[in-house]
Amino acid sequence: MKKIFILFFVLLGVSSAFSQEKKICITFDDLIYSSRYFRDPDFQFDRSLNLLGTLMSYRVPAIGFVNESKLYNGNRIVTKKVNLLEMWLMNGFELGNHTYSHKDYNTTPLSDFIEDITKGEKYIKPFCEKYNKPLKYFRHPYLHRGDSKEKVEELESSLKEAGYIEAPVTIDNAEWIFAAAYDSLLYAKETKTLEKIKSDYIKYMEAKLTYYESQSEKLFGRNISHILLLHANTLNCDTINELLEMLRRHHYKFVSMEEALKDEVFQSEDTYYKKAGISWIHRWAVTKGVNKDFFGDEPECPAYVLNLAKVDYE
């Protein structure tokens, strides 16, 4: 009889673990497109169609955060890029504000930063109204909320006054470094290493996913609703199917930003007032005063990718 009771409670625990729905919101920064090599509107348009088509086939309610400066070639607006921006909304996705020119709030006065946010509404705000998807989310460039308590509170207040909700990130990563390496090879027509980068990228993102799941469990005793940071770039346009399949294998349901933010964890206190842009899980961990060992064993970007990307990364 005792063994039966033990087995019952073990099975109950397993059942409970599987019944906890895993949710993730997929977000893309730096719309229209982020690439130092591929600026041609036709290239960006064609690659983006693949991204949007795959997101639609997987029924992902993604949100893209826009830098409207990317709609211009010098002082000239590029119609094809504006059309691509509208296609996000036309196909059921959301758009958010990422400032006009991707200013760094740590080094920008509040008045100038707010001006850049407002300047970044010229196209996205009317488009959002047209498709009945209110412009309400703001994503901080570099994930910088401010490097002092005063700066954080001033921006927070200004955003609320402007009707914005801050869009946090729980799964931060060095995906942009993989993207820079991938673009450099594609541009140079050195296709030999492309498949290796794509494969290692998916492995890296899977390692990041399980790392932040573990961080969540340690900090909150459960796996929270996650918000994944990606960028609209060539690498993600070419690997989005593999990336979404990986998330599916981990039993994630794709949800909107609104749905993800219903998790009460996003009401947690955040008193991180330093320069670095980090995951909100790590912000909350710093606020809670956890031991520094908590932050160990985070997956790193492979050395060969760093070398190909030619970027400074600490």
Looking at residue 18, its pLDDT comes to 45
Residue 312's pLDDT is: 60
Please tell me the total count of domains within the chain.
1
| pLDDT at residue number 113 | 98
At residue 191, the pLDDT reads: 87
Instruction: For residue 1, tell me if it sits in a domain.
Output: no
pLDDT for res 9: 39
Residue 111: CATH number of its domain: 3.20.20.370
Judge whether 7 lies within some domain: no
Domain containing 101: what range?
22-309
Q: Please indicate, yes or no, if residue 122 is contained in any of the structural domains.
A: yes
Domain contains 66: yes
Looking at residue 106, its pLDDT comes to 97
Is 3 part of a structural domain of the chain?
no
Q: For residue 8, is it within any domain?
A: no
- Confirm whether 15 is domain-assigned: no
14 located within any domain: no
Output the pTM of the full model.
Answer: 0.92
Task: Report residue 3: phi and psi, to 5°.
Answer: -65, -35
pLDDT along the chain (314 residues), means of 10: 43 46 97 94 95 98 98 94 96 97 98 98 97 97 97 98 98 97 95 94 98 98 98 98 98 98 98 97 97 93 95 57
